[in-house]
Amino acid sequence: MAELEGLEFGKSDFVLLDEVTMEQFMENLKLRFEKGRIYTFIGEVVVSVNPYRQMDIYGKDNIDAYRGRELYENPPHLYAVSDAAYKAMKRRAKDTCIVISGESGAGKTEASKYIMQYIAAITNPSQRAEVESVKNVLLKSNCVLEAFGNAKTNRNDNSSRFGKYMDINFNFNGDPTGGHINNYLLEKSRVVQQQDGERNFHSFYQLLRGGSEETLQAFHLHNDPAEYVYTREGATSNNDRSSHRAVMSALEVIGFSEEEITSIYQILASILLLGNVQFESDGESVQIVGLEAVNHIAELTATDPESVSKTLLYRTVATGGGEVIDKGHTEQQACFGRDAFAKALYERLFGWIVGRINSVIEVKDYNPVLHGKNTVIGVLDIYGFEIFDNNSFEQFCINYCNEKLQQLFIELILRQEQGEYQREGITWQHIDYFNNQIIVDLVEQPHKGIISILDEACLTVGNVTDTVCLDSMDTKLAQHPHYTSRKLSPTDKTMEFQKHFRIRHYAGDVTGVCNGSWDSLDQVGTTCWRKRRTHLKAGTDMILKEMWPDGQLSITEVTKRPLTAATLFKNSIVALVDKLACKEPYYVRCIKPNEMKSPVLFDDARCQHQVAYLGLLENVMVRRAGFAYRQPYARFLQRYKMTCEYTWPNHLMASDREAVEAIVTQHGFQDDVAYGHTKLFVRTPRSLFTLEQERAALIPILVLFLQKVWRGALARMRCQRMRAIYAIMGCYKRYKVKAHFWEVERRFANVRTMADYGKSVEWPTPPAALSQFHNNTVMLHRRWWARQIVKNIPPSDMLEVRAKVAALTALSGERKDWGVSRAWERDYLANTNSAFTRVSKELKNKDEYSQVLFSGFCRKVNRFNKSTDRGVLVTDKYVYKLEPKKQYKVLKRLPLDAFTGLSVTSGVDQMVALHTSSEDDVLLCLQRGELCPNQDRVGELVGALVDHFTRSVPHQHAGFLFTLQPQTQSGSQGHGGPYNIQ
């Protein structure tokens, strides 16, 4: 029982109802929903009602409140059952699972998201990168699976059209190390047909609405879903574009390559175009109307158009003698084959995506000896029991799955009860409970169940029709108490002859409709891929090869009849149940309060129906068959010790059990309890309510006492604080501090109007207490002064200013004249010759440099002291030696990265030595210019290079060296020390 909720919110645990009746159950469920309490316990089972609104109960504070707490220490919540499963896994190294069930729109998908978010939030406190990566992939996989496996239905805007079971692997520290996803029975029929008001899978609309114009053009698509047969019925959603961006981001985070992502959407585009392929018949043969769509499909799937056309118009049959025969389709068969092809493409694409995610998150090379035990938490988000007017084959499989899980639910809950009573030494009396094994056997029993009958019918020679299957079931199941049809019940006019049959499930009667989808022989297209296995190309085709492994088989093997969808689904569900049975289960039972998606409407009849088929009332009865409430002695004592004079505030007895016995004896319900080894068991809720009422009466008295003590403590604290404040104020040398402030204010009052903005003003000496403040103030003034100076410089001159600052820093005042007083043009050759401009553009296009650092005429001096006129062009990538007399032909090109430094003299000459890593230095003399013969360009070159290396690539060229050589009176160079430019 949750301890922090009052009785005005109803019973937070259905086990505590006065009487276990449907009326009281529904009354309590409705009261809690109206009070905003959407979660209620049944022992360790959480019943969740979809609120149809955002609720502020999932933030970090809520996560912290439930982290590490026991199940009943807080109000009912998904976090409570999540933490219980995590603690059981971590403390006892026990594999656990959380089973989420309920009908479409009941909130299963959201519940699974919150459970995953909680597990991610409470793990990896040390923020290890590899664990965070695993968590990100696990969380992002939900986004991808929702896009490709969810759709808008009339009951739910984001309905999961597949079952999902995710195993999360944890190491011995309790941190997630990987996982594995199993998917069950994707509703592939939705690809080709939807009911009125419903949509195809989200992925199609996200591609059409969220794909870029270039992408859609490359895929031969338009952004209007109404133009495609398969998406014509679905209205678009406002968030398709944002969802598409989220899915693309999630695919990249998970690890899909750009080619794989493109291939996925190429296959989606192929399916959309496939739906627009139309057929016409001239009485003898069937032809495709227009080949544009076929050509586009062939391009997107890297197939030749002839193979695609043949796949759609013919079926390949292998005879017993090994001959291969191509039989033409009728127009109806061609349409059916086209849709079957589209469904098979999407189903296998979805399976490939799940497998690709698994390849990323699966634990690889795990060594238990080195890493400890690898434990697992499973999260099952599975379809719930539903009854429609027309129940298809997929709905039959869904209800069978729910029957199977419901049977497991009852058996495991009962087994848990028995196990706890045995551990605590409490006598357990056997109780009868509803057993739906007879219905499970009706579906899956070998040779007698519906699935086996369908398999036998599909093996019949000739055309297998719905009537053949139905007649076979009527013949073999005529005596079964849970099966009937119109043939077996001629007076039941709610069914039609040769169409309907009815299964009496535990949650109600479900009428099935044989409508052409009661087998799974989607072989269309396999032959096409088989014939092309030696002509496979890159991209989409490689993914199609992985999607169709049977494409590598011979034609005889391909045309063999595979297992039916029902058998495959039954085998997967049996494996799932076996997997769940070996784990410690926790349950979340989701209920849909109304069909209007209203946050205030509670449809009693609708909810009661769900409570019935979820077996919640039976669960309460099983839980209460023994004892309605159980609690460890220490926790029971902590809550109720105030109600007994022998235990308040602390007891002096030998053990907590003796103290609990004193509380029970004082209240006189010792005949209604049993004492286990570690827990107290209370048989009826009324005894517990007596304790709760007395505790509630004592709480106001205790609150007043605590308030009195706390108010006195607050008053004393305030008094002490005031005395401390006055003492500090009396001891503080206020006048000295204020005097300093006044003096600073006086001296700097007019700095804004000063020519140098107060740079020449002398600062007063601060008192010792303000030394740090003084330093900060001086620094702030200097920054303000610098900003005032810099903001007057035009943006166009900032590049020149930075270069001059760099030159000033590098030359360190050793070179008297370095051109600081003139404007720096940098690209001198561009301003004098049009031929150079043309060459510069060609080099820029060829070498893709972005900026010219310097250009000009120079005298090149070689090792033999021979000089020639040359042009030099320095860019951010290369240094070019040009021949001015030959239209500035490039004589030599050196990467800028190859230069390790430069040397200049301290005199007025224009000599520059560029050093390279190969010690093949370049010595040149810059020309001063015709108009200004005394113009110094060395400083400009130094400033441009230093600014580039220190600002653009400081880490790669931290070792670039500048050397300043002092000049003798005769003009020869001496030896000077190097200046490192950092």
As given in the structure block, the two tokens for residue 206 are 């996200």
Q: Does 676 qualify as catalytic in the annotation?
A: no
Q: Does 203 qualify as catalytic in the annotation?
A: no
CA distance linking residue 168 with residue 363, whole number of Å: 10
CB 967 within 8 Å of CB 906: yes
**H-state helical runs in 425-460:** 437-444, 450-458
Q: Does 392 qualify as catalytic in the annotation?
A: no
List 109, 112, 243, 564, catalytic entry: 109
List 28, 40, 160, 203, catalytic entry: 160
Contacts 24+ apart (CB under 8 A), 668-677: 674/426, 674/427, 674/627, 676/423, 676/424, 676/425, 676/426, 676/630, 677/423, 677/424, 677/425
How does DSSP classify residue 391? B
Tokens 């585009």 belong to 269
Known binding residue 551? Answer is no
Residue 865 corresponds to which amino acid?
N
Give the residue from 564, 135, 560, 552 showing the smallest Cα distance to 360.
135
Q: Assign 570 to helix, strand or coil.
A: helix
Known binding residue 105? Answer is yes
CB 392 within 8 Å of CB 513: yes
Cα 87–90–95 angle (5° rounding)?
95
Q: Does 384 qualify as catalytic in the annotation?
A: yes
CA distance linking residue 271 with residue 593, whole number of Å: 37
Cα 787–791–797 angle (5° rounding)?
125
List 110, 386, 618, 692, catalytic entry: 386
Sign of the alpha-carbon dihedral angle for 52, 57, 60, 66: negative
Distances (CA, A) of 557 to 323, 527, 546, 642: 13, 10, 18, 77
At residue 646, what are phi and psi to the nearest 5 degrees?
-85, -10
List 105, 210, 856, 943, catalytic entry: 105
CA distance linking residue 559 with residue 561, whole number of Å: 6
How does DSSP classify residue 950? I
Sign of the alpha-carbon dihedral angle for 884, 889, 891, 892: positive
Q: Does 916 qualify as catalytic in the annotation?
A: no
Known binding residue 598? Answer is no
List 50, 104, 309, 619, catalytic entry: 104
Distances (CA, A) of 807 to 378, 502, 813: 66, 92, 10
Distances (CA, A) of 446 to 451, 539, 659: 8, 44, 58
Q: Does 156 qualify as catalytic in the annotation?
A: yes
Any bridge partners for residue 871, and if so which? 857, 882
Known binding residue 378? Answer is no
At residue 980, what are phi and psi to the nearest 5 degrees?
-75, 130
CA distance linking residue 785 with residue 779, whole number of Å: 10
CB 964 within 8 Å of CB 814: yes
Sign of the alpha-carbon dihedral angle for 818, 822, 828, 833: negative
> Cα(first)–Cα(last) distance of the chain, in Å?
68
Known binding residue 102? Answer is yes
Query: Hey, which bits of 154-242 come out as E strands?
Result: 159-160, 163-170, 176-184
As given in the structure block, the two tokens for residue 810 are 């590098």
Known binding residue 44? Answer is no
Q: Assign 725 to helix, strand or coil.
A: helix
Sign of the alpha-carbon dihedral angle for 464, 465, 468, 469: positive
List 123, 156, 840, 950, catalytic entry: 156
Query: Which DSSP helix (H) or strand (E) runs through 708?
Result: helix 685-731
Q: Does 179 qualify as catalytic in the annotation?
A: no
Maximum alpha-carbon separation in the chain: 127
CB 503 within 8 Å of CB 482: yes
List 210, 378, 384, 615, catalytic entry: 384
Residues 6 or more apart from 261 whose CB is under 8 A from it? Answer: 248, 251, 252
Q: Does 160 qualify as catalytic in the annotation?
A: yes
CA distance linking residue 777 with residue 748, whole number of Å: 12
CB 955 within 8 Å of CB 982: no
List 74, 112, 159, 484, catalytic entry: 159
Known binding residue 109? Answer is yes
CA distance linking residue 727 with residue 731, whole number of Å: 6
Known binding residue 900? Answer is no
| Feature table: binding site for ATP | 102-109
| Feature table: binding site | 102-109
Catalytic residue numbers read 104-105, 109, 156, 159-160, 384, 386
